[in-house]
Chain A
Amino acid sequence: MSNTSSRPPMRVIEKRVTLSRRGFLKGGGMAALGVGALSTATLMMPADEALAANFKVLGAANGKTLLQLARDIFPHDRISDRYYLQALEPLEAQAAQDDKLKALLTEGVAALDRLAKLRFKKAYTELPKESDRLSLLYVIEHGAFFQKVKGHLVTGFYDNKAVWPLFGYEGSSWEKGGYINRGFDDIDWLDNDA
């Protein structure tokens, strides 16, 4: 306890987004997809609609469902839809090249909606209760569509450098000289316990 005063506090990472929306829109993710400047009409739409409009290959309606599905698979309430979009972009890019994948995704969305309408008389994205949506996902979780989207998201979502700061993870360190002078041994809460 006594030694906490004699050393600097632990270098703690604020798990916050520092990127502006503007910065994001200009960022590399969509450029890589070949999406050019966004029209002002797109900018004026509500957020999720605007994001869904980026699904040029699968279409906005499918895109909206995939965005919701991605969030239901790996729900992080503090993380905005844009990161889920970034996670799905490579999958869409693959679907542009791969008709079988495209069919798996579009038919998967259609089947999910059919199931939703059968049970709740509404499309999957129109179900406001998470538990209702999950009850549908438990039905399809072993199917090829769900497995494909989930498998992709493990890297698509968590291997996206843009989300790392939100988890307090700092990424590449060698160019900063490692952690030898940046808190590899600065833990300050253990003493209180030991």
Chain B
Amino acid sequence: MKAKFSLDDDGVVVIIGSGAGGGTLADELTQRGVNVVILEAGKHYTQADFENDEWAMFKKISWLDKRISAGGWHHTETYPNLPAWIVKGVGGSTMHFSGLALRFLPHDFKTRSTYGEVKGANVIDWPISYDELAPYYDIAERKMGVAGTKASGLPEMPPNNHYKVIAAGAKKVGYKDISRPVASNTRPNDGRPACQQIGFCMQGCKIGAKWSTLYSEIPRAIETGRAELRPQSMVLRIEHDKSGKVSGVLYADKDGRQHLQKARVVCVAGNSIESPRLLLNSASSLFPNGLANSSGQVGKNYMNHTTAAAVAIHKGPVYMYRGFDIAAVISDEAQLNPDRGFLGGYHLEGLALHLPFTAAFMKPGGWGREVTSALEQYDHMSCVWVCGEDMPQEENGITLHPTEKDQYGLPIPIVTKTDHTNDAAMRRHGLAAWRKVSEAVGATRVIDMPPYPASHNMGTNRMSANARDGVLNKWGQTHDIKNLFVSDGSQFTSSSAANPTLTIVALAVRQAEYIAGAMQRREI
């Protein structure tokens, strides 16, 4: 039964965004009897819209509204208007995401206590610990169907060629922690089929073997009769009453008509650029610096991982695109080891690109035989993505353009990122490690690539024990406004070296429990 709520219904929880955070929250809240309205800026695509075609899908589902890259990072040159790679559509970036589901390590929640003060960075501990989140990691692994985990009970993803090449090299250089926990069914599970090794996981899994809130959490929420999904509904601002509690949200529908949806609780899950942007755009006379921004930390501390990529050309064919897109993941370097000359750690993640993206991302702007001689060996390539912790820095963040506006008349976001010296040292180490792994199995040429547009966006509404240091408490509830929550990766206090989605889902499950309880207790 499909629910329909009136605009005046002030008993609903409004969820802004339907990706990893918002989709999970909708599912978990409706299972607990809460009514929700999901407002999603993008369209409602289905698997019928998915094509095994990198550019076609990129153009179809990416968030392509104008953004500006600023700061010292490479993106000001390589991707001046595409700082981040985020999806606009029901299911959010879980459509594009490649499915790797790694847990944070215990020290990731205690970065300030572990690292001490880090010069030039704004490091604090999370207000929660690994142990507090561990049971929710189990639930998240089960929900997402993470292959090879105890919680899901699903068998491991069978190794493909790309996995085998990387794992062989890794073992030769002495790495031990080689795994592949990916959110894709290795047997039929949760009403979805088993992976057929189609290899276009990042283009939207055509058969739905890979987890996405598009076809798992969202339909489940709708089936309860307690969720209404409104696609093509772009939230423009969050409104509040005289007492400072949020009261509803103003959004534009597909025809540009504006509506005000009343709400008992508002949860922001628009990913780490749009979420702080929305809070900043919701400034009022009561909250002149934006909603929930008494700390001044909204939009600050933007993290997107210390990343780099590289391809290796092998002596025999690999066909890295055959099969699940994540290959072997080497986690030995994710452990702390100050001897390497940097704090934190990184994963080496085998990640296949198809030919069109390899051509575009290998040497953006490059040309000539240097490029073509490598691409002619595309079938012999393996490809890695270095994913490491980056340091929160106050100057890195999301700000509003002083004059330029988007199609809704809202100031466009400027995304500023400059590497910390720690990030640069880690990137060098990661690329050197990949070279060793590749050369150990006889790779003849290794080509370092610059980072891709940021796919992991975090930290811009961070959690903090003290209201002075961050935007949210340990439930993702804003320090300033009791019935306003943030439910996406912008909650992260540190980035860890792990890909963010599993942690976003675990936090959303935990937050749903809290919100449902607090509503019952009439605290909100």
User: Chain B contacts of A186 at CB under 8 A?
Assistant: 161
Give the residues from 160 to 176 in chain B that come closer than 8 angstroms, CB to CB, to chain A.
Answer: 160-161, 164-165, 168, 171-172
> Is there contact, CB below 8 Å, between B379 and A167?
yes
Complex Cα gap A168–B358 (Å): 13
Q: Can you list, as one digit per residue, whether each of A153-194 has a CB less than 8 Å from chain B (1) or not (0)?
A: 011011100001001111111100111101111111110011
User: Chain A contacts of B168 at CB under 8 A?
Assistant: 190, 193-194
Q: A76-B376, A172-B51 are in contact. Are A180 and B196 (CB under 8 A)?
A: yes
Chain B interface residue count, Cβ-Cβ cutoff 8 angstroms: 47
The residue in chain A whose Cβ has the minimal distance to the Cβ of B198 is A178
Complex Cα gap A74–B362 (Å): 14
Complex Cα gap A56–B66 (Å): 34
> Is there contact, CB below 8 Å, between A178 and B372?
no
> Is there contact, CB below 8 Å, between B375 and A167?
yes
Does A150 belong to the interface (CB within 8 Å)? yes
Give the residues from 310 to 342 in chain B that come closer than 8 angstroms, CB to CB, to chain A.
Answer: 315-319, 321-323
> Is there contact, CB below 8 Å, between B164 and A178?
no
Does A134 belong to the interface (CB within 8 Å)? yes
User: Chain A contacts of B161 at CB under 8 A?
Assistant: 183-187
> Is there contact, CB below 8 Å, between B317 and A168?
yes
User: Chain A contacts of B195 at CB under 8 A?
Assistant: 178, 180
> Is there contact, CB below 8 Å, between B160 and A184?
yes
User: Chain B contacts of A76 at CB under 8 A?
Assistant: 372, 375-376
Q: Can you list, as one digit per residue, whether each of A106-119 has a CB less than 8 Å from chain B (1) or not (0)?
A: 00000000000000
Does A30 belong to the interface (CB within 8 Å)? no
Q: A179-B198, A185-B164 are in contact. Are A134 and B323 (CB under 8 A)?
A: no
The residue in chain B whose Cβ has the minimal distance to the Cβ of A11 is B319
User: Chain A contacts of B354 at CB under 8 A?
Assistant: 169
Per a CB cutoff under 8 Å, which of A74, A167, A179, A188 touches B367?
A74
Does A123 belong to the interface (CB within 8 Å)? no
Per a CB cutoff under 8 Å, which of B160, B379, B442 touches A13?
B379
Q: Can you list, as one digit per residue, whether each of B416-451 has a CB less than 8 Å from chain A (1) or not (0)?
A: 000000000000000000000000011000000000
> Is there contact, CB below 8 Å, between A189 and B52?
no
Per a CB cutoff under 8 Å, which of A150, A169, A194 touches B379?
A169
Does A15 belong to the interface (CB within 8 Å)? yes
Complex Cα gap A21–B158 (Å): 42
Does A44 belong to the interface (CB within 8 Å)? no
The residue in chain B whose Cβ has the minimal distance to the Cβ of A183 is B322
Does B356 belong to the interface (CB within 8 Å)? yes
User: Chain B contacts of A158 at CB under 8 A?
Assistant: 355-356, 359-360, 375
Counting chain B CB atoms within 10 Å of each CB, which of A141, A180, A186 scores highest?
Answer: A180
> Is there contact, CB below 8 Å, between B355 and A174?
no
User: What is the distance, in angstroms, from B357's C-beta to the closest C-beta of chain A?
Assistant: 9
Q: Can you give 7 contacting A-B residue pairs, CB < 8 Å?
A: A15-B379, A74-B367, A76-B372, A158-B355, A177-B196, A178-B197, A194-B171
Closest A-B pairs by Cβ, 10 of them: A168-B379, A178-B196, A184-B323, A172-B52, A189-B316, A158-B359, A178-B198, A169-B355, A187-B161, A179-B322
| Given contact pairs A169-B378, A169-B379, A183-B322, a sample of 11 additional A-B residue pairs in the complex whose CB atoms are under 8 Å apart | A76-B376, A164-B355, A171-B52, A172-B51, A173-B198, A178-B198, A185-B161, A187-B161, A187-B165, A188-B316, A190-B165
